[in-house]
């Protein structure tokens, strides 16, 4: 799972003095950062569109001013921070830095230690902003889930009763139609079975709602995640085959290396939802690849410890950038017959297990869902 290793923090270095820029880049790369360099405002703007964590920006550039460039860079990469580089430690340059929205400024030529400390401080700022955004998003999700729960408690019982009664009557009707035989049999039976199917779908949606309304007690036990993956893929093999979709499984690591603490039934629900989504997104004849294995002993930054990772790649259209923040919200769906609850259930269960679930691009196009859970020793 090399491609899932920690992404390096990206630094955008904007200075027209090539020798100095190379010097700074070398120091930063040695400290583990990925550095991209631009010698002008125009170059910086085109590189910033790809995103950066921290931009080090010279005050005087051949085609403009660093203080004017800084806000434009932040607009292009709103999660990034800017540090201004100046030739003189004057009060004006400090004021200019603050005005430009920079979080710090460095006087050139700066000592290695000073450079690294300032960049690390800016990175911390970036992380803090990220955590704040994540918390705000979680609070918003929790609010929505609470609303779903309240509504469900009131409605689902009332709806399910008449629904079950209707299903029962339809079954009676079906039996009678079957007894009729002859010419009437087909034309009567077909719409009847369609209505039965739709009622079952409604019942399934209500069942999903109930997950939110009655959160059960969580009793974690050791679960070998690779085995759950295998069971889920066996379960969905028929559906994939029907649409000529190749369902590829790859399990890595020694036995016992994908053990997590959790509830098998809920983890199965997570994997069913993610794999079904992948199958639904993939055109007939495409491929869905599910990989499960232990993560490298060196956990990703911010991760609670060594983990188990499941990657679900499909060859569908992928998730558009604009939808990525929303797909885990309850009711977000792009499907005519979807409830939009699948991924919000996934998110809630995974959080309960102390894990994370993210969406990315699959290397060959299509979507990649990345599930990480803490590994049991």
Shortest distance in whole angstroms from residue 264 CB to Mg ion: 20
- Considering only 160, 338, 352, 354, the residue that binds ligand ATP (CB under 6 A) is 338
- Considering only 339, 349, 350, 375, the residue that binds ligand ATP (CB under 6 A) is 339
- Considering only 13, 341, 348, 376, the residue that binds ligand ATP (CB under 6 A) is 341
Q: Is 354 in the site for ligand ATP (CB under 6 A)?
A: no
**What is the binding site for Mg ion (CB under 5 A)?**
277, 342
Q: Is 367 in the site for ligand ATP (CB under 6 A)?
A: yes
Q: Is 70 in the site for ligand ATP (CB under 6 A)?
A: no
Q: Which stretch binds ligand ATP (CB under 6 A): 91-99, 212-220, 274-282, 291-299?
A: 274-282
Instruction: Read off the tokens for 367.
Output: 């979507």
Q: Is 210 in the site for ligand ATP (CB under 6 A)?
A: no
Q: Is 374 helix (H, G, I), strand (E, B) or coil?
A: strand
Shortest distance in whole angstroms from residue 218 CB to ligand ATP: 21
Q: Is 281 in the site for ligand ATP (CB under 6 A)?
A: yes
Order across the sheet with 287-294: list the strands: 246-251, 287-294, 307-314, 367-374, 356-361
Interacting positions 183-202 with ligand ATP (CB under 6 A)? none
Cβ closer to Mg ion: 256 or 283? Answer: 283
Cβ closer to Mg ion: 152 or 277? Answer: 277
Cβ closer to Mg ion: 29 or 207? Answer: 207
Shortest distance in whole angstroms from residue 257 CB to ligand ATP: 26
Q: Could you give the count of Cα atoms lying within 13 Å of 175 in the half-sphere of its Cβ?
A: 5
Of 44, 93, 98, the C-alpha closest to 73 is: 44
> Helix %, strand %, coil % for the chain, to 5?
50, 20, 30
Burial track 61-80 (b if 16+ CB lie within 10 A, e otherwise): beeeebbebbeebbebbeeb
Looking at the DSSP bridge assignments, the partners of residue 370 are 311, 358
Whole-angstrom distance, CA of residue 368 vs CA of residue 363: 8
Q: Is 332 in the site for ligand ATP (CB under 6 A)?
A: yes
Burial track 179-192 (b if 16+ CB lie within 10 A, e otherwise): eeeeeeeeebeeeb
Q: Is 236 in the site for ligand ATP (CB under 6 A)?
A: no
Cβ closer to Mg ion: 218 or 331? Answer: 331
Q: What is the dihedral of CA 57, 50, 47, 41, to 10 degrees?
A: -60
Contacts with ligand ATP by CB under 6 A: the residue count is 20
Which residues contact ligand ATP by CB under 6 A? 273, 277-278, 281, 314, 316, 319, 327, 332-335, 338-344, 367
């Amino acid at each position: 799972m090399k491609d899932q290793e920690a992404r390096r923090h990206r630094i955008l270095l904007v200075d027209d003095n090539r020798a100095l820029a190379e010097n700074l880049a070398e120091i930063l790369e040695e400290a583990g950062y990925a550095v991209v360099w631009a010698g002008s405002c125009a170059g910086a703007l085109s590189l910033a569109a790809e995103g950066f964590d921290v931009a080090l920006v010279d005050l005087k550039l051949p085609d403009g001013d660093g203080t004017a460039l800084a806000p434009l860079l932040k607009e292009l990469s709103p999660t990034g921070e800017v540090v201004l580089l100046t030739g003189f430690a004057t009060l004006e340059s400090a004021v200019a830095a603050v005005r430009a929205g920079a979080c710090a400024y460095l006087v050139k030529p700066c000592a290695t230690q000073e450079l690294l400390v300032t960049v690390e401080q800016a990175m911390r700022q970036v992380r803090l902003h990220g955590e704040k955004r994540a918390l705000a998003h979680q609070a918003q999700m929790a609010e929505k889930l609470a609303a779903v729960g309240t509504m469900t408690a009131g409605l689902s019982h009332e709806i399910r009763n008449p629904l079950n009664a209707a299903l029962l009557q339809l079954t009676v009707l079906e039996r009678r139609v079957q007894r009729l035989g002859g010419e009437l049999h087909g034309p009567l039976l077909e719409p009847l079975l369609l209505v039965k199917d739709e009622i079952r779908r409604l019942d399934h949606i209500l069942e999903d709602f109930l997950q939110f309304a009655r959160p059960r007690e969580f009793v974690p036990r050791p679960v070998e995640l690779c085995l759950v993956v295998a069971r889920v893929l066996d379960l969905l093999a028929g559906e994939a085959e029907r649409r000529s979709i190749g369902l590829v499984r790859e399990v890595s690591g020694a036995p016992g290396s994908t053990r997590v603490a959790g509830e098998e039934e809920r983890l199965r629900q997570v994997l069913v939802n993610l794999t079904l989504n992948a199958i639904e997104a993939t055109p007939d004849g495409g491929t869905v690849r599910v990989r499960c294995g232990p993560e490298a002993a060196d956990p990703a930054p911010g991760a609670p410890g060594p983990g188990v990772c499941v990657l679900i790649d499909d060859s569908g259209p992928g998730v558009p950038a604009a939808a990525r923040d929303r797909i885990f919200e309850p009711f977000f769906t792009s499907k005519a017959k979807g409830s939009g609850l699948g991924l919000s259930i996934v998110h809630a269960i995974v959080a309960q297990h102390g894990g994370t679930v993210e969406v990315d691009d699959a290397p060959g196009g299509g979507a990649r869902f990345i599930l990480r859970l803490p590994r049991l020793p």
